[in-house]
Amino acid sequence: MSASKYYESISKVLDAIHQRQGVNIGKAGELFAAAIAAGKRVYLFGSGHSVIPVMDVFPRYGSFVGFYPLYDPRLMWHNVIGGGGARELLWLERREGYVEQFLQSYSFEPGDCMMVFSHGGLNAAGIETALYAKERGLKVVTVSSHANREVSAATHSSGKQLPDVADIAIDNCVAPEDSQVDIGRAEKVAAGSTMAAVFIAMSLVAETGARLAARGFKPPTFVSPNVEGVAKDHNQQVFRAYTEKWYERSPVPSPAGVE
């Protein structure tokens, strides 16, 4: 049964992450906890399907203020073809020089962190986000296929692949092909990188949260209203804390000549 084959394959991927990347996940969790405890931010970025783990970190039940997702709708498909389609997105995320136009709207500071997801680790959007962050004094954590790094030449003009820019490079332990199940055709089906990336993302939420708790630090946590004893306005308070911290630093300067 092909569903069983996928289960077996993805179980091996998750086990490999747990066994081989536990140290790096711990290091990243400590880095993030130190930043959040100091009032800094952990930004998250991905393009294409790699935006899925970004969306799943915050706002998400069980996560907390301190994580700041970066969403560019031009780098996320919400259609198959045409406007907002996958074909246009796949072209744009490879264009050098684009992502700076998006990132300049945010106020990054030394002490912040940037986490970048990209299975292949070759596209300009992810690499240039990591470089942009490093230039501004941020620590960078990446999640990508290190197996793909071994077999693929860099396509970015810097000569770098995504892990080359990282302070901590986490391997998603997925093969370059990504698809997991052979159904007797030339192409396999059923991708693994999204499961791997979300597993890593949630592991980091858990690790960061535990390390914050050990410091005696309790950030506002987004909680399901189905949890008994949760105040009705609890999540409104979480949104308020997120908004206040977001606007504290005046992220978007006024254009020249505009008051």
User: Could you report the per-residue pLDDT of 169-222, keeping only the tens digit for each?
Assistant: 999 999 888 888 888 877 888 888 999 999 999 999 999 999 999 999 989 999
Output the average pLDDT for the chain.
90
Higher pLDDT, 151 or 209: 209
Residues 212, 28 contacting (CB under 8 angstroms): no
- Among 64-68, 215-219, 241-245, the range of highest mean pLDDT: 64-68
pLDDT reading at 247 higher than 90:
no
Under the banding of pLDDT at 50, 70 and 90, the label for residue 254 is: very low
In this prediction, residue 212 carries a pLDDT of 96
pLDDT reading at 259 higher than 50:
no
And the tokens for 171?
């391997």
Q: Which of 99, 130, 135, 114 is nearest to 67 (CA)?
A: 114
Query: Alpha helix (H) ranges present in the chain?
Result: 2-20, 22-37, 52-57, 86-92, 99-103, 124-135, 146-151, 193-214, 234-247
Which structural domains are found in the chain, ordered by start? 2-247 (3.40.50.10490)
Give the whole-angstrom CA distance, residue 116 versus residue 114: 6
Sign of CA dihedral 27, 223, 18, 210: positive
In this prediction, residue 248 carries a pLDDT of 65
Give the whole-angstrom CA distance, residue 11 versus residue 200: 14
Residues 37, 217 contacting (CB under 8 angstroms): yes
What is the pLDDT averaged over residues 74-101? Answer: 90
Under the banding of pLDDT at 50, 70 and 90, the label for residue 103 is: very high
253 membership: H or E segment, kind and range: none
In this prediction, residue 249 carries a pLDDT of 63
pLDDT digits (tens, 9 = 90+) for 2-50: 899 989 999 999 999 999 999 999 999 999 999 999 999 999 999 999 9
Burial of 121 (0-12, 13-18, 19+ CB in 10 A): buried
Give the whole-angstrom CA distance, residue 65 versus residue 58: 8
What is the pLDDT averaged over residues 78-102? Answer: 90
